[in-house]
Amino acid sequence: MKGFEITQAGDVIDKLFTYRDKYHEKGKYLGFRALHEHYSMSLGNCTDWSGFPMSGKTQFLMECLVNTSLMYGWKHLVYFPDVGSNVEIIADLIHKVTGKTFDPEKKNAITDQEITRSIDWITQHFKVLTKRDVKAKMTPFDLKGGSEWINSGKCQITIHREDITNNIVDVYFNKIKPRSNGNVGRIQMYFDIEKFVYYDEVGIHRTKVYAQKQ
């Protein structure tokens, strides 16, 4: 059959040894201890993100991608048509890096200097695709391996938010393959005025935790 080939033993033998040795190896730490128990990112794998519109799927994924760029220098090819224009997408990414909002009425509004300092780093680490032709079509095969950039630990993630005014996001981790680099379960993340955070609750004390390298 044109375009296909039959796998021979020599094609995969060394890779099978590696597959066995790294069977339980976790991916990259994404900045939150509670998240790492369930989820980590590794190249060459796929994660299915699901949830209702406006539930926070894209925002949560963008946060994870930004953290891999900040911590490990990863670069990403992204296409987020649901977020808006390329200006809105890059504004969201800058917000996640700086913690500054583009709303000029807020106290933590970003300045011209902060935008200028951030834009080069963002465009270096994020290749933002924008559709110029309404008839243009694209499949993962067209990316020639680019689909590996949006990746992770063999599980399905469901994002749930009661309503779009609620800043609490329930993140459910559902195993969909026998080998998953994390545990099934749920955590809660928060849309903070600065950026995504996790609240670590010990007794009556509630501590705001920002993503940081392990």
Q: 120, 60, 62, 70: which is closest to 93 by C-alpha? A: 62
**Does residue 7 surpass a pLDDT of 70?**
yes
pLDDT in tens, 12-31: 999 999 888 887 778 889 98
Report the distance separating Cα 55 and Cα 160, nearest Å. Answer: 5
* Residue percentage of the chain with pLDDT more than 90: 30
Measured in degrees and rounded to the nearest 5, phi and psi for residue 196 equal -60, 135
* Mean pLDDT of the 109-128 span: 95
Pairing assessment for the beta strands 48-50 and 155-160 based on DSSP bridges: parallel
Tokens of 209: 């935790």
Pairing assessment for the beta strands 185-191 and 126-128 based on DSSP bridges: unpaired
197-200 long-range contacts (CB < 8 A, ≥24 apart) are 198/32, 198/34, 198/35, 200/34
Tokens of 46: 């796929």
Q: How confident is the model at residue 139 (pLDDT cuts 50, 70, 90)?
A: low
Q: 104, 89, 97: which is closest to 71 by C-alpha? A: 97
**Does residue 119 surpass a pLDDT of 90?**
yes
Measured in degrees and rounded to the nearest 5, phi and psi for residue 18 equal -65, -40
**Does residue 176 surpass a pLDDT of 60?**
no
CB-based burial label for 34 (10 Å; 0-12, 13-18, 19+): middle
* Mean pLDDT of the 148-173 span: 72
Q: Is the pTM of this model over 0.85?
A: no
Q: 94, 108, 105, 64: which is closest to 196 by C-alpha? A: 64
User: Could you give all domains of the chain from N- to C-terminal order, each with its CATH number?
Assistant: 49-209 (3.40.50.300)
Q: How confident is the model at residue 165 (pLDDT cuts 50, 70, 90)?
A: confident
Determine the length of the chain. 214
